[in-house]
Amino acid sequence: MTRQMKTVAEHFPIAGSFTISRGSKTTASVVTCQISDGAFSGMGECVPYGRYGETIDSVLAEIETIRPQIEAGIDREKLRQTMKAGAARNAVDCALWDLDAKKSGSRAFALAGLAEPAPLTTAYTISLGEPEAMAAHTAQYAHRALLKIKVGTPDDASRIRAVRAAAPNSAIILDANEGWSEANLTYHFDVCAESGVALIEQPLPGGQDALLASVHRPVPVCADESVHKTEDLPNLAGLYDAVNIKLDKTGGLTEALSMRDAARTLNLKIMVGCMVGTSLGMAPAVLLAQGADFVDLDGPLLLARDREPGLRYADSLVFPPLPALWG
């Protein structure tokens, strides 16, 4: 039977606000893709990201251009060759994974040749703010094993020290979101080492990666905005110690699995991250994150309202998706 595709924009309120060095938002806006063959339906979700020139409207339009191929039965590999990496392809790719799992009666992890997934320790994100406010927020979650702290100002030393004092026993990832510069990079690195930070994400703007070759890195550094697809990896090896793989950047689970394997051959550590989205968007990333060095799949925890059914979270753990959600 001929497939049918439906796409829709959805908006989920964030609990409070979510702030990084580029600004704040109070709503998570996502695009949901549903692909049906008459008997089964597969679902996928993406988060358009302005940093990469994406909007809700542009992603909906991009998916619409491939409607004829989708409804004619395009498979995931052909999709990867046809659409560019990004949020639009992610929604379609993950919907096809879900559809194929339902049609086959198998779980998506089995279709991917993966072992049955286990619960993972995920980071919980603390938004950027003034040091005192960040410390107070951090203190509420100091029982968590792993925290991700948003920074990215000209002088983050007081923020780094404040959150470390508020959570002395948590492992800490710092995410500068391209907010540091050549002038303050070494200073911030030294403060991170002093504070026992486990990982620093994307300290410099994308395109300035070469600067990392000329400085001592006392703390492992992870590429985020500088890495989108497998072909990016060789130019980053030696400059970064890890890469953050996000489905909305890679354009879906198919490319992300390939990228993960390629990164490991280059001795790069793996972080699996997310945009602020619902459990539907996180579910395929839980499969990708099995065996990762760092996991940051807390998107639904930042929402005032998630999908039902959603992923199960307990303390610092995120559990694999049930079939009723995805895969």
How are beta strands 221-223 and 124-126 bridged, if at all?
Answer: unpaired
> Do 201 and 222 form a contact (C-beta atoms < 8 A)?
yes
Angstrom distance (rounded) from CA 188 to CA 181:
10
> Do 14 and 304 form a contact (C-beta atoms < 8 A)?
yes
Q: Which of these is catalytic: 102, 148, 229, 246?
A: 246
- Selection from 146, 129, 8, 6 nearest residue 71 by Cα: 6
Q: Taking CA 51 as the corner, what is the angle to CA 50 and CA 52, rounded to the nearest 5 degrees?
A: 85
Fill in the amino acid letter for 258: S
Angstrom distance (rounded) from CA 132 to CA 138:
10
Q: Which of these is catalytic: 150, 229, 249, 269?
A: 150
Phi, psi of 14 (to 5 degrees): -85, 145
Q: Is 25 assigned a catalytic role? A: no
Q: Is 78 assigned a catalytic role? A: no
**Active-site residue list:** 150, 246
